[in-house]
A = this chain, B = another copy of it.
Amino acid sequence: MDCSVIPLSHPGPHPLSLISTTDFFYPSVDDPFTQGQIGACNVLSDMYALGVHEVHNVLMILGASRDMDPKSRDIVTRKMIEGFTDLCGRAGVDVTGGQTVMNPWPIIGGTAMSVCAPSDFIMPTGAVPGDVLILTKPLGTQIAVNVNEWRQQEDKTNWNKAQGVITLEEAFEAYDKCCESMTRLNKNAAKLMHKYHAHGATDVTGFGILGHSNNLAQNQKNKVQFNIHTLPIIKKMVEIDKVFKRWRLEEGFSAETSGGLLVILPAQDAQNFCRELEELDGKPCWIVGDVIEAKQNNMAKIMENKRILEI
């Protein structure tokens, strides 16, 4: 479960729940404005995974880096705040408070919360055999971020090794794609979950697609297994992983930052969901798996004959 869901008992005929989540981490991209956007996108993503597309409040969690000179620190911190606020604005929610500390490392993140009626959210527990799985963003963001770091390091060992399979131009292209992906809100996907009868969702972050799929499978009320047959991956990231053998991307373990939603949908709704989301976001999404009846425990697996889509 990506969020806390607390049923409220208030007078009146309308039951309400308080839904909330908190998430923060350390910067991973060069540009502090983009980093602020990623921090906001990432914390909102947990709400969207429940189909909650109206977030009522966001509080910011911020660490200003003690190890920067004061002038750089002021600029970087201000830009991170601007990026965070910008993306929350695009999501239709104000940042109304928060807490800032001085810390050796910079920190960015927040808490998002929403008060919802039963029809406002979709518990991630309703998968049935015959459903399919849709992924709304490509995998490989962490690897693209790493390649971008290597490029700028004084010690060129990793960058030289990477250049065996990737050109400078391709590294820039992968980095651009991952930044676009990490700053894209899953809000439209959350809205369409309602329209197309989704049976639940999760967002793909620190545990990789297999880790999050497994959690999602184990959450289900029915006996179901998730068979993942397709992995959409940012171009060249598979080759990088093959050279460095560090992330186990093709096995589904590579961590993502502010990743896509993995949505469970009835098969007959899947094409329309994808078509409409692509119209709204201007970016592709993919049917990546099937829901079948579980023979034993609920689980997810990546099929041996899986297809890699280079994005």
Q: Are the C-beta atoms of B8 and A11 separated by less than 8 Å? A: no
Pairwise interchain contact A18-B56, C-beta atoms closer than 8 A: yes
- Which B residues lie within 8 Å of A105 (CB)? 103-104
Is A13 within 8 A of B16, CB to CB? no
A157 to chain B, nearest CB (A): 24
Asked if B61 and A97 sit within 8 Å, CB to CB, the answer is no
A115 near B24 with CB under 8 A, answer no
Q: A23's contact among B18, B22, B99, by CB below 8 Å, is which?
A: B99
Q: Which residues of B contact A4 (CB under 8 A)?
A: 57, 59, 96-97
**Cβ distance A121 to chain B, nearest Cβ, rounded Å:** 14
Bound-state Cα–Cα, A163 to B293, Å: 74
Q: Which of A188-220 contact B (CB under 8 A)?
A: none
Q: Whole-angstrom distance between the alpha carbons of A101 and B8 in the complex?
A: 30
Q: Find chain B residues with CB under 8 A from A6 CB.
A: 56-57, 96
Q: Are A111 and B56 in contact (CB under 8 A)?
A: no
Interface size class of A (residues with CB under 8 A): 35 or more
> A113 on the interface (CB 8 Å rule)?
yes
Q: A18 to B109, Cβ gap below 8 A? A: no
Could you say which residues of chain B place their CB within 8 Å of the CB of A109? 99
* Residues on B with beta carbons closer than 8 Å to the beta carbon of A11: 14, 117
Does A26 interact with chain B (Cβ within 8 Å)? yes
- Bound-state CA distance A14–B9 (Å) is 12
Partner of A61, one of B10, B25, B61, B115: B61
Asked if A3 is an interface residue, CB under 8 A from chain B, the answer is: yes
Give per-residue flags for A73-117: 1 if the beta carbon is below 8 A from chain B beta carbons, else 0. 000000000000000000000001111010111010101010101
Determine if B59 and A21 form an interchain contact, defined as CB atoms under 8 angstroms apart: yes
**Could you show 8 A-B contacts with beta carbons less than 8 Å apart?**
A10-B14, A10-B115, A12-B13, A22-B22, A22-B97, A22-B99, A25-B101, A103-B104
14 more A-B residue pairs beyond the given contacts A4-B59, A18-B113, A22-B22, with a C-beta to C-beta distance below 8 A: A3-B97, A6-B56, A8-B56, A12-B12, A16-B16, A16-B115, A20-B59, A21-B97, A22-B61, A22-B99, A22-B111, A26-B101, A59-B111, A101-B107
